[in-house]
Every structure is written in structure tokens, then in C-alpha cells.
Chains A and B, each alone.
Chain A
Amino acid sequence: MKALMSVGALVGAIALLLLVGMILDVVPSNTVRLVEGYMPIQMLVEVACFVVGFAGLSYMLSSMGMAVPRFWQGIGFWAFVLLYLKFRVYPPIPFSVRAMYGTVSLVAVFMWVSANEDDWKKFKQPIMNVLDAQSGANKMLRYAYLVLIPVLVGFTSFNAMKPTSEEPVELRTVHPAPPASTKVHGKTYTLQTSQNPYRVNPEGKFDQEYSNKLIVEQGMGRLMAPNANPWDEKNQGYLKYVKEGGEIFFQNCHFCHGDNLNGRGLHAFAFNPIPANFTDPGTIAQLQETFIFWRVAKGGIGLPNEGFPWASVMPPWEQHLTVDEIWKVILFEYWHTGYYPRTWD
């Protein structure tokens, strides 16, 4: 038992040291990576480790005759939860969420310290001692609290009431519902049945399989597939159109959407929100090719009123590009990011 508890105490001490390091910014808060997808489990395990560690620590301390009063255990654990959420979790979580977790853990700590009459008494004891002020130290504490609490509350309420100017939060819809059909350059396109006329094999037939084979490699630093260079002059079909689409992209779109299609173009810094990042799996990889066609052709101004709020300064590209050019640009965007457009079925 004792050995087990000392292991726990060791774990606790190390974990606490790490957390203190993170708070003081000596240890970067992403030292031990929180793994995407496993993050909740990883955090649960970590917190469990801490709990074991704390139990061990408190056992060791009390066996050495330096028991921590229940009151400070409760307060300490709550403070730990708040600090853990603020300094350990990376990327940082917003204050409102932390406040929610903080409240929940406060309630939990309360339930723990008031589980039975005896514990509750132990917990209250320090408070009562200060209220009664029987000893000199407690008297001092009582006076200090008498002054400190009103000052602190007054100061916080002053800060809360003082007018501040922070950018108002505006929610936005990123992918508003598309219409059933759209009219571009006088011709109506039914979005459900239209397809990219340039996704064709060298014989000029629509061929999804053929273009899939020539799409760039997946993964970081996506590159063209071996022996599928769009700049090859002998190209026919899909790859030839990818090159033409790329030319249009780099003459019109990359100023905002970036050389790497990641929304970080030459002028992107001036935008709020910044332009769409096509390499993000949440954008074109989730959408049908016809949706992109509609968005490119109509721009931010063509977005439907039903879908608001949204924020887009993209111009209606039908004013600058022909229908063919729009389809080619879309072809290029999928080729360059290595994504496949979603289909309707």
C-alpha cells in the first residue's frame, strides 16, 4: 500500500511540477502533444493520473504528520482544475467554456467535501475558525478578509462596468445551401445534374476514373502524380485543362486564395475573415463540383438571403470569366489540393 501510494505521490509531484512549468511558461503547453481525435481520452487519463498523484501526495503527507486540511484540499483541487484548463490545453479554450467547466468542478468539489456530516464539518472548520476569531492569527485573517473582500468585489465590478471596445462577434454561415439551379451567362445549370465538362479522358469523354488516377498525391506537400505533368505539351484531356485552369487561377484567384490554395495570398492579410482555405478538408473536399461552380460564378453577392449570416467579398466571377474558364479553375483546384469532389449520390 505504502509503496503504491509513494508511486502515486511521485507521479503527482512530477505532474504538478510540469503544470507549474507550463504556467510559468518554462515548459511549452504542447510539450506532450494532445493528439487530435484522442484528446478527450488523453485528457481523462491525464486528470486521472493527477488524481492518483494527489491521493498519493496527501497520503504521504498525512503519514508524515503534515496532513493537508480538507478545506485546502478542496480549494486546491478546484484551483488545479482551473489552471489545468487554462495552461495545459492547447490550442487554448475560450474563457466562457472554461467558466462552465470551472462551475461544474466547483459543484463536484462541493459534493466531495460534503459527502457526509463528518467531512463537511472538517471542511467548514477553517471558515468557522476565522469567523470566530479565537486565536490571534485568525483575528488578523478576519480583519484582512473584512477589508479585502469588499475591495476585490468593488474592483471587479468596476472593471466589468467600464466600457471597452472589442470587435463585435459576427457568426457566419460558411456553406449556405445552394439553389436548385443557377443561370450563368444566359444558360441555366441544374446543380444536381451538371458535371464538369473538362473531367474528360484523352478521347474527350467524361471520365471520373481517369481524372482520379491523375490527381496529385495525398498528404503533406501534395505533388503531381509521377508522369502526370500538366505542363507536358503532349497532354490531351484532363491534364491539359488542369494547366489551363491553373493559369486562370494564378491570374485571378491566387492573390487572395494563395499560391498554395490555403487562403493566404498576397492580399489576404487585408481581409476579415480571410479567404477560404481549399487545402482544409472542410472546404472544397466536402462540396460538389457544381456547388463550387455556383459560388465562383455568383460570388458573395450571389449568396441567398435565406442562408445568412455570411461574410464574403468574393466577386461574381462570371463578370470576368467565361463558363469554361470557371469549370477549368475548379478542375485545377481539386487537382492541386488532391481532393475529390463530392458527388450527389
Chain B
Amino acid sequence: MRKKMMNTSMGKKAGIVLASAFGLALFSAGPLVLSASAEEVPQGFKKGELAPEPAADMIEAGKRVYFTKCVWCHGVDGAGDGPGADRLWPRPRNFNQGTFKIRHTASGELPLFDAKKPTPGQNDLFETVTHGLPGSAMPSWEGILTEEQRLQVLSFVTTQLVKDRKFTDKQSESQTILQMADLKPKEATEESKKRGSELIVEKKCVECHGMEGRGDGNAFNLKDDWGFSIQPANWHKCWNFRGSRQDPYNVKNIFRTFSTGVNGTPMPSFADSTSVDDRWDIANFVNSLCERDAQGNPLSIDPQTDKPKVNFVLPSNPVEGEIPTDIENEAWQKTQKRLIAMGGQITHKPRNFVNRIDDLWVRSLYNEKSIVYLIEWDDRTKSVAEGKLPWAPTQVNIDVKEQDPKTGEEGSIAAHQNNYAVYNDAVAIETPVKWQDLPAPIKPRYLFGSNEQYPVDIVKWEADGSLRAFKGTGWDKDFEERDSYEENLKILKSEWKNGRWYVMIQRPVGNKKDQDYDEDTLFEMGKYIPTVFFAWDGHNGDAGRKMAVSAFYYTFMQPPTPREVYIYPFVIAGGIVLLEAWVLTRRANKRKGKTL
């Protein structure tokens, strides 16, 4: 009720503002157009007015919001150095310089913010707070803070925490606004996308974003204005686009970013050098790269996490004879691909706060003897360890300081970024041994195994070409290598191409007769076999327990459709026919008896 009232009063205010703005525009339209053409505004942009300073009571109210919700990451002075900052990647924004990434304004300008106008497309900072910045720790504050609270906190931030620039200073600030509402998206035809694919080479986008757009160009050499490592966007994961506004498949977001550039990063604005038409072609092409389902529809995105919704059953299809090793093979193409969501392992030392692998795509096939997992994931760098590793890649709880040094001090996470010892990229599949016998309370402890009695079976592939088997017996124990089992395993494929790994791992499904039931996982058809995935990014210093982990998925070896399924329905239908005949005869006899 309260919210509604606020909305209507807001609406009224906005109405008055709009009406007066319209009046102003009527009077000043003539000179504006003149001055615009005189100053050479890029195509699609128009000169705009600076917004008035927010009222003092709004700033004061905003301070309370800031010190409850924002200070923990952005810091007391808004320098992006709150207690959480050192462990976040990407790092929280430093407000002091007034550098903001997501804008409708020309490169280098301040973003749009008007404390009285929460209108989409006309208030960049309000939209950022409302929808959050997907792919970072900045959540969507819609539903948590009221519209008014969001405007209040921004009033505080823009007036008190932005220190080097002033949002209302007409001497030093100008506003050149991208007229997004007037620009109709160009239809995403094959021709447009093809032109876009040529333009991204011509405009040198591929130098940073990579040949396939996986962000693997200059992946590990880029820094932002503050010297912190950043990475170019991966166009295949549009849900991680910082300015996607929780509408990741909307081509307008890409057009806007491309037109305005991303302040504070090496991403420039292409507005001066590229016509609006060309910009749409590029946006259409980039948008077409984002992952879609088998029918080509956008993946459904969970609005609370901004990531694709996850299905925890990984179906494995049966194959007659040999399992094909060629991804283009029909059997692979027809198999459902599942997204495996990956989080950083932050619960055991060494902890991975700067996780760089956030998902895998997995498919699976099986035959009588083996099961094959085809795992694909984006990794901007191919990492292969050289020489002797400082610590064994299966170690856990190695001696690292519990609290990493703060940024600026030696050994901090920020100082380490892009400067780690390079280990092997790696991926592992973990399945519990004796999962059929596990008593219920033991179950959730699969991660690295429960104890000696209920170990897990881990198959790990590494970029140096090795495929090894381990036994896991607990959270805080190193993996034990299983020497004899490796001859049963096989790498069918391992290739890194343009920022993506393609790895195909084969392992026996086992059978009760000649399998060591106490040590190997027995894969049974038609059963839900708990499966966990681990991934390591070698250039991120990932080794041992510093890695990405998934939740518990279920490998489900789809049984071939049993013959009964094709027989029983016919039997049942036949029975119904007989029943009908019986009812009809009975009715007919009854009627005869009556009439007779």
C-alpha cells in the first residue's frame, strides 16, 4: 500500500517534471538543434542538460542507506575498498573519480543521474542499482530498497563520494546523450549478422574479445584505470554482460555499450568511427553468439541470480557399438547439453575467491562397457605448467595465510592477479563409490568424499595430457592417487581452441562381476548417479583445492525404451475395445428385453 502511494506521488512528480521539460523543449528546440549541429555530436547522440543537485534531505537519507547496504564493499569513502573488496573480482567500483561503466552518455562523461527522474534510459545510475551488474557481486536492489531509497543513496554517492568531479558543474561537465529510445534496432537478418562478423574484425574487436568472441584476445594483459586486472567480455555468456540490465538477450544493451564505451577500461566508444547502421550490425552479430538452447531460443534466466536456470539431471544417451569421438557426430549432436554452474571453492584452504570458470557444458553417451563425458568450457588462456610445481596439484589446506594481505600490500589477491605461477588447466568428474549403499545423512558430504568407508572416485584430466584417477576420503584430506585404475581411462579428445576447451573423457561403467565394488563407482542404467564437477584455470593459480566446484548433479543413463512400452498400451487399448463392446451389447439386450 505504502509503495503504491509512493509510486503515485512519484508519478505525479515525474509528470510535472516531464510537462515542464516538454515546455522548455518547445521554447529551446530551435537553438538546441543549431548548437548540436555546430558541435559535431556523434550519430545517434544529442546534447543534454545537467540534472539539478538532489535535495539535502535526500542526501542525508541516502547516507543511511549507504552505511547499511553499500559500505561493506564500496568502503567508507566510496573508494571501492570496503572489507569485501579485496576478495571480489571484478572489484567494487571506486566512486571517487566519477568513473562509471554503464552509461547512455559519450565516452568519458558522467552517467545520467537525476534524483527526481527514475525513467528507464534516462537515469543510468538508478538502473544500475535497480538491476545490479550481472557477472559481478553487485546484486539487483529492486525489491530490497524502495525506488525512493535507491534514489536517495545515489544522491549521497553522486554528491558526497564522487570527489574529483561534480555532477552539476556546467563549466567542466557536458552531457551528450545516446538517444536510445529513438533508435530502432535493425532486424537481425543473416545479412546483418554477416556484416557484423566482418566489422568486428575490421574494427579490431577480435584483438581483445578473441576470434570466437570468448574474451580470449588480450585476456591476461588488460588493466582498468586503477591497475586492477580485468578481462574482455565473453560474448557467449550475455548473462554476464555488466550492463545487461537483467535482459541479456536484448540487442540494445550491446548497442549501448558499443556506442558509449566502458569508462575506466580499455573498451572505447565506437560512436565517432562507426555509423548507427554498422553498430546495429555488430550488436546483432554479438547478440547472436550468446548461448541458446537446441531450438535456438534464449536460455531462461533466473532473475535472482542473473544466470541461466539449471537442470540438475545430466542425461546420458545409449549408443550401439563404439562411442564416436567426433563432436559433429549425430549421436553427440542429438544429446542434450547441460549447463553445469560452477562456484569458487571458498570453504577450504587455499580458497578461490577470484573464480574465473563459472560454468561448464556437459554431454554424455554410454555403451555396454564405457561412459563418455564431453566437457566444454570457456577459459581465456591455455595453461600448461612448466617445470616443477611448488606444491602438489592435489594438496589441500596448504599453509596460506587465513587473511590475505590488503590491496597495496605484498601478496594481496589484487597483486597476485595475472601474476600467479601457471598450473595446468584441469577438469575432474567425481562420483561416489558405493552410492547405492549410502545412508541418507552421509549423502551431502560427497564433495571430496565422506570418510574411508564411503570414498569418492575422482577422474582428473590435466592440460599436460594426463588423465589420472584419485580416491577422495574427506573434505580436509589430499586426494590419494589410484595407480592401477588409470589404464581403464581414456582421453578421446582434448583441444583448446579460441578460448574454449573441448575434453572427452571415457571411463568404464563397471559391472558387478569383475569390478571392485569398494573402490570404483558402478554406473547403473536408469539410476540417478550423483556427480560433481571440478575445474581449474591454470593462469589463475588454480591447483589443489583452489578451483571451481559444482553442486551435486545426477548422471542419468537413459535406458533404451523397454519393449513393453510399445506393447502394453496396445493391450490396454484392446481391453477398452472389449469393454466398450460389452457395455453396448448389454445396453442393447436390456433395451430389447424392455421393448419385448
A interface with B by C-beta (< 8 Å): 128, 131-132, 145-146, 149-151, 153-155, 157-158, 161-163, 165-168, 216, 220-224, 226, 229-231, 246-252, 254-256, 258-260, 262, 264-272, 300-301, 303, 305, 307-315, 319-320, 336
For residue A326, give the distance in angstroms from its CB to the closest CB of chain B: 14
Cα separation A260 to B72 with both chains bound (whole Å) = 11
Taking each of B341, B444, B565, which has the highest tally of chain A beta carbons within 10 Å of its own beta carbon? Answer: B444
Contact call B310/A155, Cβ cutoff below 8 A = no
Contact call B552/A150, Cβ cutoff below 8 A = no
B311 — which chain A residues lie within 8 A by C-beta? 167
Contact call A309/B564, Cβ cutoff below 8 A = no
B67 within 8 A of A: yes
Complex interface residues of chain B between 516 and 531 (CB less than 8 A to chain A):
526, 528
Contact call B568/A161, Cβ cutoff below 8 A = yes
Contact call A315/B343, Cβ cutoff below 8 A = no
Interface pairs A-B: 7 shortest CB-CB = A267-B343, A154-B573, A250-B84, A315-B347, A308-B441, A270-B343, A269-B305
Cα separation A255 to B310 with both chains bound (whole Å) = 19
Residue pairs across A and B with Cβ atoms less than 8 A apart, 12 shown, are A131-B587, A150-B577, A154-B573, A163-B558, A165-B315, A223-B149, A247-B72, A254-B84, A255-B137, A262-B144, A271-B343, A309-B443
A315 — which chain B residues lie within 8 A by C-beta? 347-348, 475
B556 — which chain A residues lie within 8 A by C-beta? 165
- Extra A-B contacts (19), CB below 8 Å, given A161-B568, A266-B136, A313-B447: A132-B591, A150-B580, A154-B569, A155-B569, A158-B569, A167-B554, A221-B65, A221-B149, A223-B65, A247-B72, A247-B83, A250-B83, A251-B86, A254-B72, A301-B475, A305-B441, A308-B441, A309-B440, A312-B444
Closest to B557 in A: A165
Cα separation A12 to B287 with both chains bound (whole Å) = 48
Contact call B67/A224, Cβ cutoff below 8 A = yes
Binary contact track B431-463/A, C-beta < 8 Å → 1, others 0: 000000001110111010000000000000000
Contact call A231/B562, Cβ cutoff below 8 A = no
Contact call A268/B305, Cβ cutoff below 8 A = yes
With contact pairs A231-B76, A267-B343 given, residues A157 and B568 touching in the complex (Cβ less than 8 Å): yes
Contact call A259/B139, Cβ cutoff below 8 A = yes
Contact call B584/A131, Cβ cutoff below 8 A = yes
Cα separation A233 to B485 with both chains bound (whole Å) = 60
Contact call A255/B441, Cβ cutoff below 8 A = no
B510 within 8 A of A: no
Q: Which of A158, A250, A307, A309 contacts B72 (CB 8 A)?
A: A250
Binary contact track B132-155/A, C-beta < 8 Å → 1, others 0: 000011110100111001000000
B149 — which chain A residues lie within 8 A by C-beta? 221, 223
Q: Which of A165, A223, A265 contacts B68 (CB 8 A)?
A: A223
Contact call B344/A267, Cβ cutoff below 8 A = yes
Closest to A159 in B: B569
Taking each of A226, A255, A265, A301, which has the highest tally of chain B beta carbons within 10 Å of its own beta carbon? Answer: A255
Cα separation A270 to B489 with both chains bound (whole Å) = 28
B286 within 8 A of A: no
Binary contact track B578-596/A, C-beta < 8 Å → 1, others 0: 0010011001000100000
Closest to A227 in B: B64
For residue B110, give the distance in angstroms from its CB to the closest CB of chain A: 25
Cα separation A256 to B141 with both chains bound (whole Å) = 17
B164 within 8 A of A: no
Chain A-chain B contacts (Cβ-Cβ < 8 Å), number? 186
Contact call B441/A161, Cβ cutoff below 8 A = no
For residue A134, give the distance in angstroms from its CB to the closest CB of chain B: 10
A167 — which chain B residues lie within 8 A by C-beta? 311-313, 528, 554
Contact call A271/B551, Cβ cutoff below 8 A = yes
Binary contact track B475-499/A, C-beta < 8 Å → 1, others 0: 1100000000000000000000000
With contact pairs A132-B587, A165-B315, A231-B71 given, residues A251 and B83 touching in the complex (Cβ less than 8 Å): yes
For residue A143, give the distance in angstroms from its CB to the closest CB of chain B: 11
With contact pairs A155-B569, A309-B443 given, residues A163 and B561 touching in the complex (Cβ less than 8 Å): yes
With contact pairs A162-B561, A255-B346 given, residues A222 and B572 touching in the complex (Cβ less than 8 Å): no
B514 within 8 A of A: no
Cα separation A305 to B444 with both chains bound (whole Å) = 12
For residue A322, give the distance in angstroms from its CB to the closest CB of chain B: 10
B22 within 8 A of A: no
B307 within 8 A of A: yes
Cα separation A226 to B63 with both chains bound (whole Å) = 10
Q: Which of A131, A154, A272, A309 contacts B552 (CB 8 A)?
A: A272
Complex interface residues of chain B between 309 and 367 (CB less than 8 A to chain A):
310-313, 315, 341-344, 346-348, 353, 355, 358
Cα separation A224 to B62 with both chains bound (whole Å) = 11
With contact pairs A153-B573, A264-B305 given, residues A259 and B584 touching in the complex (Cβ less than 8 Å): no
With contact pairs A315-B348, A320-B402 given, residues A270 and B549 touching in the complex (Cβ less than 8 Å): yes
Cα separation A208 to B355 with both chains bound (whole Å) = 40
Cα separation A95 to B464 with both chains bound (whole Å) = 51
A132 — which chain B residues lie within 8 A by C-beta? 587, 591
Contact call B67/A269, Cβ cutoff below 8 A = no
Contact call B441/A153, Cβ cutoff below 8 A = no
For residue B554, give the distance in angstroms from its CB to the closest CB of chain A: 7
B353 — which chain A residues lie within 8 A by C-beta? 255
A249 — which chain B residues lie within 8 A by C-beta? 72
Contact call A146/B587, Cβ cutoff below 8 A = no
For residue A163, give the distance in angstroms from its CB to the closest CB of chain B: 5
With contact pairs A150-B574, A150-B577 given, residues A163 and B68 touching in the complex (Cβ less than 8 Å): no
B576 within 8 A of A: yes
Closest to B89 in A: A266
B69 within 8 A of A: yes
Taking each of A163, A230, A248, A252, which has the highest tally of chain B beta carbons within 10 Å of its own beta carbon? Answer: A163
Complex interface residues of chain B between 50 and 87 (CB less than 8 A to chain A):
64-65, 67-69, 71-73, 76, 82-84, 86-87
A264 — which chain B residues lie within 8 A by C-beta? 139, 304-305
B402 — which chain A residues lie within 8 A by C-beta? 320
For residue B140, give the distance in angstroms from its CB to the closest CB of chain A: 9
With contact pairs A163-B526, A267-B355, A269-B310 given, residues A259 and B69 touching in the complex (Cβ less than 8 Å): yes
Closest to A216 in B: B68
Contact call A222/B68, Cβ cutoff below 8 A = yes
B107 within 8 A of A: no
B559 within 8 A of A: yes
B570 within 8 A of A: yes
Contact call A151/B584, Cβ cutoff below 8 A = no
A226 — which chain B residues lie within 8 A by C-beta? 64
Q: Which of A162, A223, A248 contacts B565 (CB 8 A)?
A: A162
B272 within 8 A of A: no
Cα separation A128 to B584 with both chains bound (whole Å) = 10
A153 — which chain B residues lie within 8 A by C-beta? 569, 572-573, 576
Closest to B445 in A: A301
Binary contact track B359-403/A, C-beta < 8 Å → 1, others 0: 000000000000000000000000000000000000000000011
With contact pairs A224-B64, A266-B137 given, residues A158 and B565 touching in the complex (Cβ less than 8 Å): yes
Closest to B346 in A: A255
For residue B107, give the distance in angstroms from its CB to the closest CB of chain A: 29
With contact pairs A224-B64, A305-B441 given, residues A161 and B69 touching in the complex (Cβ less than 8 Å): no
Closest to A260 in B: B144
Cα separation A50 to B64 with both chains bound (whole Å) = 50
A250 — which chain B residues lie within 8 A by C-beta? 72-73, 82-84
